[in-house]
């Protein structure tokens, strides 16, 4: 088993944190091999960024994503920039409030930003999307993501992040894909 996952968006959306949480869940709590790399645009906030995770059940010889089989787009720029760098039958997940897919493109959509706003903080849209990814791809378990969040985020925002994760899971259940 080997998967290449790319999470893209713009600076300030928590793209790198989402990649870190996913990689931590996969490696520490599911005992898989995982490597995460990150990329930023020229601007610290607002510029394009991506988090790239390679996960496998064996040693990883080449740690870079070349053609993602799971692609998450949290911004239009990220979708446009990286969509062609996926395998033909990749699982493509988008924040439908911020990304308009190409005509005919098969995507799984959740309005993560709007749902996060409903929780009171748009900044947890990344965690909503992680929950959606968990439920629609089956690549990671809820329990592993929950542990990664519990051991990473500040206690003051832990309840909000766990609620965002559960909300993303529930939206993924509506898709019924995994």
Domains annotated for the chain, with CATH where assigned, are: 2-175 (3.40.920.10)
> Where do the H-state alpha helices sit in 74-141?
76-82, 112-118, 125-137
Q: Where are the beta strands (DSSP E) in 11-159?
A: 33-40, 48-56, 68-73, 86-95, 108-110
Give 173's contacts (C-beta < 8 A, 6+ positions apart): 135
> What is the full per-residue pLDDT of the chain (178 aa) written as tens digits?
999 999 999 888 999 999 999 999 999 999 999 999 998 765 555 667 899 999 999 999 999 999 999 999 999 999 999 999 999 999 999 999 999 999 999 999 999 999 999 999 999 999 999 999 999 999 999 999 999 999 999 999 999 999 999 999 999 988 765 5
Nearest to 25 by CA among 142, 144, 130, 136: 144
pTM of the complete model: 0.93
3-state DSSP helix/strand/coil % of the chain, to nearest 5: 45, 25, 30
Nearest to 73 by CA among 149, 26, 8: 8
């Amino acid at each position: 088993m080997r998967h290449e996952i790319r999470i893209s968006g713009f600076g300030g959306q928590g793209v790198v944190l989402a990649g870190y949480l996913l990689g931590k869940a996969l490696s520490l709590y599911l005992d898989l091999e995982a490597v995460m790399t990150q990329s930023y645009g020229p601007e610290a906030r607002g510029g394009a960024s991506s988090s790239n995770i390679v996960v496998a059940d064996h040693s990883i010889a080449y740690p870079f994503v070349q053609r993602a089989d799971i692609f998450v787009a949290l911004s239009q720029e990220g979708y446009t920039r990286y969509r062609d760098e996926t395998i033909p039958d990749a699982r493509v997940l988008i924040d439908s409030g911020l990304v308009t897919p190409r005509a005919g493109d098969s995507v799984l959509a959740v309005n993560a930003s709007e749902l996060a706003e409903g929780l009171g903080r748009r900044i947890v849209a990344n965690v909503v999307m992680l929950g959606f990814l968990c439920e629609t791809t089956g690549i990671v378990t809820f329990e592993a993501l929950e542990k990664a969040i519990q051991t990473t985020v500040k206690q003051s925002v832990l309840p909000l992040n766990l609620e965002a994760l559960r909300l993303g899971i529930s939206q993924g259940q509506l898709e019924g894909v995994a």
